[in-house]
Amino acid sequence: MVKGRAFAAAMLAVAVAAAGCSSGGDGDGGGKGGGGGGGKSDAKLAITPATGTKQVAPDQPVTVKADKGKLTEVTVADAKGHKAEGALAADGLSWKSRWTLRPATTYTVTAKGTDDGKPVTATSTFTTLTPRKKLESGMAPLEGEKVGVGMPVQLLLTQPVTGKEARAAVERSLVVRMSKPVEGAWHWISDKEVDFRPRVYWPAGSKVQVVAHLAGVKAGNGTYGVKDRTLNFTVGAKHYTKINAKTHKATVTDGGETVRTMKVSLGKPGDDSYTGVMIAQEKLSHMVMDSSTTGNPGEYRTPTDWNVRMTYSGTFVHSAPWSTGSQGSANVSHGCVNAAPSDAKWFYNFTQRGDVIEVTGTTRKLRFGNGPTPWAISWDEWLKGSALGAPVTGQPLT
């Protein structure tokens, strides 16, 4: 007898859940509207999720469907007035939300339509679930920063995102807008970082906006994004520096024109500098170079000025007054690019984060992932790192 009651209760719960997506009377996920002249319309607007629904998955779309007539307006808003974007179908019979919803939030849906000139309305109020784990994010470059043409967009996450489906959901939430649209793609650097780079380089002088619609994105079992994020930055002039370890010379160009040639000294045998296309990752006017950070404690601990970082592992262009006698003729450094104090200071002031620095003539190849190194691999290899496996053409930025 107990089993029979349990079974009946389960069937009732299933029936109630199923009924929750269908239209009903006002305040029940659907509604009818009255009009003048010809009496009331019998058109119905069905809203999903139905009113009163709790624990709604934030990645479940909000939909409104009219059985006849046309929808004219749909708003989905929380108590603070934040509205969910969405679009009407071409035939006017349905509406669907564009992005995922905020977790742990109560929304009210208000739908309006007409049928034979008579107004039809419906409302629904529901609440999204509270995630077990929250996915927060950070982005680079910095808001409002001017960067070089080689700077990638870095989206950094607080929780690991694994599996193609979860990564694809994150990528679909990302929008890149450009004043000069070009083709690019996202690439997963790790479980907690996905980067965007153009196919070639950013056009000089362009403006870029990245919008991460992460609130409500399901990034794993019980893990949801909790906040959207927007980043705006500009791209400066095209600075490109070529450093040749065999000629011991650095040629600096601005927009294709050579603006300075510097004598340099790169890594000595056994401490070879990296060959590859890097970017200026950060600038430090003064720092202490300590060999313990590279696994060789006690070898050196040297104060340096006018440092431009090229790798996470510690490759810099910097001032080296102690090696001016070798600059232009021999490689004597521990892997960095040594320059005369006047050249190093000029280069430091000239350089933007994201400027391209290409080193050639060594036997040690740059390792992808040694800092933001989007140009260390080919476009085809970069594209393989996208969960969606497809390039993105930037949307116009107006």
Q: What 3-state DSSP class applies to 170?
A: helix
- Does 82 participate in catalysis according to the annotation? no
Q: CB count, 10 Å around CB of 170?
A: 25
Q: CB count, 10 Å around CB of 317?
A: 28
**CA–CA gap between residue 144 and residue 20 (Å, rounded):** 46
Residues comprising the chain, all counted = 398
C-beta of residue 178 within 8 angstroms of C-beta of residue 198: no
- Structural tokens at position 220: 């794993």
C-beta of residue 169 within 8 angstroms of C-beta of residue 59: yes
- Structural tokens at position 395: 């949307």
**Which residue is catalytic, options 213, 239, 318, 334?**
318
Beta bridge partners of 307: 284
- Does 336 participate in catalysis according to the annotation? yes
**Which residue is catalytic, options 187, 213, 334, 336?**
336
Dihedral in degrees, nearest 10, Cα atoms 366, 368, 370, 371: 120
Give me Rg for the CA atoms of the chain: 29
What's the gap between Cα 135 and its chain centre?
Answer: 13
Q: CB count, 10 Å around CB of 280?
A: 26
> Which alpha helices (DSSP H) does the chain contain, by range?
2-19, 164-172, 341-350, 379-384
Which of 251, 262, 203 has the alpha carbon at shortest distance from 359? 251
- What b/e string do you get for 201-239 counting C-beta neighbours within 10 Å, with b at 16 or more? bbbbebebbbbbbbbbbbbbeebbbbebbebbbbbbebb
**Which residues are designated catalytic?**
318, 336
